[in-house]
């Protein structure tokens, strides 16, 4: 008897409490930055495409929704000739983002991708490519350790030592000051 | 001539008032259930979602009205109308104010009890005519439940009749001028409310329907407007039980300052909200628990109440 009255009271009191419903179309949900939504292709801080068309994202994709074809620019830098994501297949798992060595492919907190026409779910490169660097604002793949591609000289990249001068016998070939700077 | 016109007007007012309130309950109930479970409920169609009623009506009118081939056609078609008609007939004796009452029957209270008993036929016939197992189980349950709870409901109002000395509902209201009957007849009020909720088989006593076990009970095979009639009949039942509770125990239209009709409306609305609160908060008992509670708890209390009330009435005389 007491429990019945108590239940009635506790339920009744809810009238004075704010509903926990989010009124979605008017009230947008606050999604975290790492939410896995619409996929974008980012650019490095200099404005060049980050994607080097390595195909790792396409290989990692469990539903095979990514298609791309590599090409080489005049300056020797690789880029995708086309880059196509079929969002009617995509399951927003984020495997592509994990696989990407250059931080080019990233998932964003945008999920409002409904379309009337199924063919509109296929995004081409011009739809995917954004103008900014996305989640890693200062990262430039070509400035990291690695071969010279016209962005940095060999040995001047981040986390990279100058190459050892094989012709010298002196130990001072490693510039201690430069190492400290990095 | 004027009196005839006035009574026709009263009939129209009571009937359309009851139907409109019952229809608006579709919206009010869903909204209240939402608020009580910390949601919003329907709030999209129109201001505050008020047009939800219209949307529901349009939907139910345009639904396919399908009669299963294994059903007993004439009875199947008739039974939704029975509940609707019997509940509306009961409204005939409910006094909305000193002047607005469709019929001042001297056996008003008995008429109400008789009509609510006739309502059982709708469910029994509907369940039987559907010709399938869940409706039949639901209607068997509803016979047990409604017949036993009608007994307690009928016994509980005897105390009120003893105090008022009349079966006429207007007289009963007038007899409450000094003190509402809810004070001297508190056990009767509790039994009447419980019995009333059980008779109109609202939650938590919705065993005849019991979605989780009987699909939808006696109206499983119904669709379209026939289902709609059952649905509106149920809401009319809520309005009826609320109006009767107010009339018998809360002084009907009596109240200071405001016009009598408004008082009646406010009290009835509060009672309707209480019945919806039952739905929002209480779990459904098993059929054996329900019957045990009825026959072993409510019946002795009701009989004791009659005994004590009768003794006190006699002593005062």
User: Would you say residue B68 has pLDDT above 70?
Assistant: yes
A172 pLDDT band, cuts 50/70/90, is low
What the block records as the tokens of A1 is 């008897």
Burial B277-291 (b: 16+ CB within 10 A, else e): bbbbbbebeebeebb
A181 pLDDT band, cuts 50/70/90, is low
Determine the distance in angstroms separating the CA of A17 from the nearest CA of chain B, rounded to an integer: 7
Closest Cβ–Cβ partner in B34, B39, B282 for A4: B282
Interface mutation target, options B38, B275, B289, chain A, most CBs of A under 10 Å: B38
Closest Cβ–Cβ partner in B35, B40, B281 for A15: B35
Q: What percent of chain B has pLDDT over 90?
A: 3
ipTM: 0.74
Flag if A11 and B35 touch (Cβ within 8 Å): no
Stronger pLDDT, A3 or B99, i.e. the higher one: A3
Residue A180 has a pLDDT of 63
Over residues B142-153, the mean pLDDT reads 85
pLDDT tens digits, A36-78: 999 999 998 888 888 999 999 999 999 999 999 999 988 778 8
Flag if A14 and B278 touch (Cβ within 8 Å): no
Interface mutation target, options A6, A13, A19, A23, chain B, most CBs of B under 10 Å: A19
Closest Cβ–Cβ partner in B38, B281, B282 for A19: B38
Residue B130 has a pLDDT of 85
Q: Measured between CB atoms, does B289 come within 8 Å of chain A?
A: no
Lowest mean pLDDT among A31-40, B2-11, B295-304: B2-11
B contacts of A21 (beta carbons < 8 Å): 38-40
User: Would you say residue A171 has pLDDT above 70?
Assistant: no
pLDDT tens digits, B153-194: 888 888 888 888 888 888 888 888 888 888 888 888 998 998
Q: Measured between CB atoms, does B278 come within 8 Å of chain A?
A: yes
User: Would you say residue A33 has pLDDT above 70?
Assistant: yes
A80 pLDDT band, cuts 50/70/90, is very high
The pTM of the full predicted model, rounded to 2 decimals, is 0.76
What the block records as the tokens of B106 is 């001297």
B contacts of A7 (beta carbons < 8 Å): 281-282
User: Would you say residue A12 has pLDDT above 80?
Assistant: yes
Angle at A44 between CA A124 and CA A145, to 5 degrees: 125
Q: Taking the CB of residue A33, how many other CB atoms lie within 10 A of it? A: 8
B contacts of A11 (beta carbons < 8 Å): 36, 277, 280-281
Q: What percent of chain A has pLDDT over 70?
A: 90
Backbone angles phi, psi at B40, to 5 degrees: -100, -30
Closest-CA residue of A relative to B39 is A19
Over residues B58-72, the mean pLDDT reads 85
Pseudo-torsion of CA B115, B117, B122, B126, nearest 10°?
Answer: 180
Please state, rounded to an integer, the average pLDDT across all residues of chain B: 85
Let me know: does B54 contact B76? Beta carbons within 8 Å.
no
> What is the C-alpha to C-alpha distance for residues A27 and A33, in angstroms, rounded to an integer?
18
Backbone angles phi, psi at A129, to 5 degrees: -70, 125
A contacts of B277 (beta carbons < 8 Å): 8, 11-12
Closest-CA residue of B relative to A17 is B38
Over residues B60-85, the mean pLDDT reads 86
A contacts of B36 (beta carbons < 8 Å): 11-12, 14-15
Let me know: does B94 contact B247? Beta carbons within 8 Å.
yes
Backbone angles phi, psi at B163, to 5 degrees: -70, -40
User: Would you say residue B108 has pLDDT above 90?
Assistant: no
Number of separate helices (H) and strands (E) present in chain A: 5, 5
A contacts of B37 (beta carbons < 8 Å): 14
Over residues A75-102, the mean pLDDT reads 90
Determine the distance in angstroms separating the CA of B262 from the nearest CA of chain A, rounded to an integer: 24
User: Would you say residue B207 has pLDDT above 80?
Assistant: no
Question: In chain A, where do the E strands start and end?
Answer: 39-41, 66-72, 78-86, 105-107, 122-123
User: Would you say residue B20 has pLDDT above 70?
Assistant: yes
> What is the C-alpha to C-alpha distance for residues A16 and A8, in angstroms, rounded to an integer?
14
**Long-range pairs of B171-179 with CB within 8 A, sequence gap ≥ 24:** B172/B109, B172/B247, B172/B248, B172/B252, B173/B95, B173/B247, B173/B251, B173/B252, B173/B253, B173/B254, B176/B251, B176/B252, B176/B254, B177/B251, B177/B254
> What is the C-alpha to C-alpha distance for residues B118 and B120, in angstroms, rounded to an integer?
5
- HSE, CB side, 13 Å, CA atoms: give it for residue A95: 15
Residue A106 has a pLDDT of 93
Let me know: does B32 contact B280? Beta carbons within 8 Å.
yes
């Amino acid at each position: 008897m007491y429990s019945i009255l108590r239940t009635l009271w506790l339920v009744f009191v809810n009238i004075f409490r704010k509903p926990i419903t989010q009124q979605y179309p008017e009230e947008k949900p606050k999604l975290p930055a790492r939410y896995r939504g619409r996929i974008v292709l980012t650019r490095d801080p200099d404005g060049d495409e980050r994607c080097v068309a390595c195909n790792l994202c396409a290989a990692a994709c469990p539903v095979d929704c990514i298609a791309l074809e590599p090409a080489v620019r005049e300056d020797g830098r690789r880029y995708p000739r086309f880059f196509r994501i079929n969002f009617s297949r995509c399951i927003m798992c984020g495997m592509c983002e994990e696989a990407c060595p250059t931080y080019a492919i990233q998932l964003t907190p945008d999920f409002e991708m409904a379309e009337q026409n199924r063919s509109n779910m296929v995004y081409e490169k011009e739809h995917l490519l954004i103008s900014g660097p996305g989640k890693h604002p200062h990262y430039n793949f070509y400035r990291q350790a690695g071969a010279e591609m016209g962005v940095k000289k060999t040995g001047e990249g981040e986390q990279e030592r100058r190459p050892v001068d094989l012709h010298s016998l002196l130990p001072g070939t490693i510039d201690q000051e430069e190492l400290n700077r990095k | 001539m004027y009196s005839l016109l006035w009574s026709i007007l009263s009939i129209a007012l009571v009937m359309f008032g009851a139907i409109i309130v019952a229809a608006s309950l579709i919206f009010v109930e869903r909204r209240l259930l939402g608020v009580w479970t910390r949601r919003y409920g329907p709030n999209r169609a129109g201001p505050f979602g008020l047009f939800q009623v219209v949307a529901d009506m349009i939907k139910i009118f345009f639904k396919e009205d399908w009669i299963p081939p294994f059903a007993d056609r004439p009875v199947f078609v008739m039974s939704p109308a029975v509940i609707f008609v019997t509940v509306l007939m009961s409204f005939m004796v409910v006094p909305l104010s000193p002047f607005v009452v469709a019929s001042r029957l001297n056996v008003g209270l008995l008429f109400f009890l008789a009509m609510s008993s006739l309502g059982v036929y709708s469910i029994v016939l509907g369940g039987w005519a559907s010709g399938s197992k869940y409706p039949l189980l639901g209607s068997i349950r509803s016979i047990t439940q409604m017949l036993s709870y009608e007994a307690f409901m009928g016994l509980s109002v005897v105390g009120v009749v003893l105090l008022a000395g009349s079966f006429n509902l207007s007289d009963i209201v007038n007899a409450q001028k000094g003190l509402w009957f809810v004070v001297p007849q508190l056990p009767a009020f509790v039994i009447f409310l419980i019995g009333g909720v059980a008779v109109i088989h609202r939650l938590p006593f919705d065993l005849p329907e019991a979605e989780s076990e009987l699909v939808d009970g006696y109206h499983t095979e119904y669709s379209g407007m026939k289902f709609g009639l059952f649905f509106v009949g149920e809401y009319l039942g809520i309005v009826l039980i609320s109006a009767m509770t107010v009339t018998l125990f809360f002084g009907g239209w009596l109240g200071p300052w405001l016009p009598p009709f408004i008082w009646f409306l406010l009290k009835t609305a509060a009672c309707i909200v209480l019945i919806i609160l039952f739905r929002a908060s209480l779990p459904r008992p098993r059929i054996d628990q329900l019957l045990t509670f009825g026959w072993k708890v409510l019946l002795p209390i009701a009989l004791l109440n009659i005994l004590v009330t009768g003794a006190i009435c006699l002593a005062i005389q």
